[in-house]
Amino acid sequence: MNLNEPIRRVARDRPADPAVVDGDRTYSFRDLWSAVSRMAEALRARGLRPGDRVLLWMPNGAGFLAAHFGAMAAGLVSIPVKAENGPAELEFILGDSRPRLMIADRGLLARLPAGPPPDLECLVPDEVLPGVPPLPPLDIPPEEVPDDHPASVIYSYVFGEGRPYGAVLTHANHYYIGVFCAPFFRVDPGDRILIVLPMLHVFPMGMGILPAFYQGGTIYCGDALRPRTLLETISRERITHIPAVPQVFDQLARSHRPDRYDLGSIKNLTSGADFLPEEIHRSIQETLGVTVIQGYGMTETFPSVCNPPDERNRPGTLGVGVHADIRYRILDREGRELPPGQVGEIEMQTPCGMAGYLDAPEASARMLHDGWVRSGDLGWVDEQGYLRFDRLIKPIINLAGNKVDPLEVSRIIERCPGVASAAVSALVAPVNGGLPSVALKADVELERGAQLEDRDIRAYCRAWLAPYKVPQKIELRRA
What would the DSSP string read from start to end of 434-479?
SPPEEEEEEEEEEPTT----HHHHHHHHHHHS-GGGS-SEEEEE--
pLDDT in the model for residue 224: 82
Strand partners, 243: 270
308 and 447 share one domain: no
Q: What is the DSSP letter of 209?
A: I
Establish if 387 belongs to a structural domain: no
127 and 165 share one domain: yes
Establish if 389 belongs to a structural domain: no
210 and 274 share one domain: yes
Q: Can you give the pTM of this predicted structure?
A: 0.96
324 and 421 share one domain: no
437 and 339 share one domain: no
Domain count within the chain: 2
Establish if 315 belongs to a structural domain: yes
Establish if 354 belongs to a structural domain: yes
pLDDT in the model for residue 133: 53
pLDDT in the model for residue 116: 84
Dihedral sign for Cα atoms in the order 321, 325, 329, 335: negative
The span from the CA of 126 to the CA of 299, in Å, is: 29
* CATH code assigned at 117: 3.40.50.12780
Task: Print the domain residue range for 94.
Answer: 5-381
The span from the CA of 168 to the CA of 170, in Å, is: 7
Establish if 395 belongs to a structural domain: no
The span from the CA of 220 to the CA of 18, in Å, is: 10
- Of 83, 102, 96, 77, the residue nearest 168 (C-alpha): 77
414 and 368 share one domain: no
The span from the CA of 77 to the CA of 48, in Å, is: 10
The span from the CA of 432 to the CA of 414, in Å, is: 36
63 and 183 share one domain: yes
74 and 14 share one domain: yes
The span from the CA of 137 to the CA of 242, in Å, is: 30
264 and 343 share one domain: yes
Tens of pLDDT, residue by residue, the chain (479 residues): 999 999 999 999 999 999 999 999 999 999 999 999 999 999 999 999 999 999 999 999 999 999 999 999 999 999 999 999 999 999 999 999 999 999 999 999 988 988 888 899 999 888 777 664 566 889 999 999 999 999 999 999 999 999 999 999 999 999 999 999 899 999 999 999 999 999 999 999 999 999 999 999 999 999 888 999 999 999 999 999 999 999 999 999 999 999 999 999 999 999 999 999 999 999 999 999 999 999 999 999 999 999 999 999 999 999 999 999 999 999 999 999 999 999 999 999 999 999 999 999 999 999 999 999 999 999 999 999 999 999 999 999 999 999 999 999 999 999 999 999 999 999 998 777 778 889 999 999 999 999 999 999 999 999 999 999 999 999 999 87
The span from the CA of 476 to the CA of 419, in Å, is: 10
Q: Which of 381, 413, 436 is the last residue of a domain?
A: 381
* CATH code assigned at 411: 3.30.300.30
409 and 377 share one domain: no
242 and 347 share one domain: yes
257 and 183 share one domain: yes
pLDDT in the model for residue 129: 72
